[in-house]
């Protein structure tokens, strides 16, 4: 009980810190007068835990299948050791001289303890996400991607976004540093809510990701429509999103915009070469996780 109380206190302090960070970011004139609020469950209740336990088994199985081919390679990479069977190199492997394929060199690899990849996932939680079970698939994808990254020691952050009255509501489901290891249960709160003021949410998450030390930073957006909020829409909102993408690309962030609704053409127009078409929602978890797999250095 004392440990739980301590974790809850740390989480409350984190919520305050996140809100302080949010207030000190310049979001641009198009978001003037709009408040930014970070929401996070400080202490996970039994209901969320039970809900997770009911649906997680097949999702975790998908994660395990996706990571199967990588686990051994990553462990060896972090442990270091002798890498044999190379076509070129400075060291000749005497035990491989009998091979006729030319793979007779080896090298000693140094341990790599620092992850080279960090991931941020931002989910659209607008009201339209309740259509066609989009929110259910988004939640499942978050759980799979989170487990995949956690199992491979890849730092991962998961946020959702919606709006209230003159407020952008950001929902912190998973942070890079965990106090109580309950972030997987927090993701059961992913829901369809209000409107979507994408630019402010995107800038906050991109700013958090840009602070990471990893060489490769991937920001995955899942959306079912164009930006739509009071005073925020049309070409002005699209230009805001394009500008944010370009700004943070210069800071080394790779963007992937997964479109899961009928608004795919408009989302492609906004994000250009970062666009990922998810026609079949069943493919969403695998496609998002494969984005990360393509950038893992082993």
**Residue ranges per domain, the chain?**
2-66+114-293, 82-111
CA dihedral 280, 285, 291, 293 (to 10 degrees): -140
Task: Give the Cα separation of 255 and 246 in Å (integer).
Answer: 10
Q: Where are the alpha helices (DSSP H) in 109-263?
A: 134-151, 183-186, 198-210, 234-249
**pLDDT band of 27, cuts 50, 70, 90:** very high
pTM of the model: 0.84
pLDDT, tens digit, for every residue of 135-170? 999 999 999 999 999 998 899 999 999 998 889 999
Which residues touch 287 (CB under 8 Å, ≥6 apart)? 258, 276, 278
Q: Which of these, 223, 272, 217, lies nearest to 249 by C-alpha position?
A: 217
Q: In what order do the strands lie in the sheet with 35-39?
A: 35-39, 167-174, 156-164, 117-124, 216-223, 253-259, 275-277
Residue 99, pLDDT > 90, answer no
Taking only Cα atoms into account, the Rg of the chain, rounded to an integer number of angstroms, comes to: 21
User: Which tokens is 247 given?
Assistant: 């700004």
Report whether CATH 3.30.300.30 matches the domain 2-66+114-293. Answer: no
Residue 258, pLDDT > 60, answer yes
pLDDT, tens digit, for every residue of 166-175? 899 999 999 9
Instruction: Out of 12-21, 70-79, 232-241, 265-274, pick the least confident.
Output: 70-79
**pLDDT band of 227, cuts 50, 70, 90:** confident
> Which pLDDT does position 76 carry in this prediction?
61
**pLDDT band of 111, cuts 50, 70, 90:** low
């Amino acid at each position: 009980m004392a440990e739980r109380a301590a974790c809850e206190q740390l989480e409350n302090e984190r919520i305050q810190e996140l809100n302080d960070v949010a207030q000190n970011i310049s979001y641009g004139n198009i978001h003037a007068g709009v408040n930014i609020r970070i929401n996070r469950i400080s202490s996970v209740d039994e209901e969320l835990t039970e809900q997770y336990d009911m649906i997680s088994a097949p999702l975790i199985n998908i994660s395990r299948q996706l990571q199967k081919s990588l686990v051994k390679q990553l462990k060896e990479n972090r442990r270091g050791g002798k890498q044999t069977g190379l076509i070129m190199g400075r060291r000749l492997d005497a035990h491989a001289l009998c091979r006729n394929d030319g793979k007779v060199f080896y090298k000693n690899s140094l341990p790599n303890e620092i992850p080279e990849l960090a991931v941020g996932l931002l989910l659209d939680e607008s009201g339209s996400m309740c259509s066609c079970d989009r929110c259910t698939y988004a939640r499942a994808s978050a759980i799979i991607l989170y487990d995949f990254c956690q199992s491979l020691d890849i730092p991962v952050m998961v946020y959702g976004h919606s709006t209230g009255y003159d407020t952008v509501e950001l929902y912190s489901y998973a942070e890079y540093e965990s106090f109580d290891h309950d972030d997987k249960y927090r993701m059961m709160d992913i829901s369809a809510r209000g409107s979507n003021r994408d630019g402010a949410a995107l800038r906050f998450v991109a700013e958090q990701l840009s602070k990471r030390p990893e060489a490769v930073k991937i920001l995955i957006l899942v959306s079912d429509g164009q930006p739509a909020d009071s005073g925020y829409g049309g070409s002005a909102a699209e230009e805001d999103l394009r500008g944010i993408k370009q700004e943070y690309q210069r800071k080394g962030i790779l963007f992937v915009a997964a479109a899961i609704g009928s608004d795919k053409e408009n989302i492609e127009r906004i994000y250009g070469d970062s666009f990922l078409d998810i026609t079949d929602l069943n493919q969403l978890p695998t496609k998002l996780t494969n984005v990360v797999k393509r950038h893992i250095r082993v």
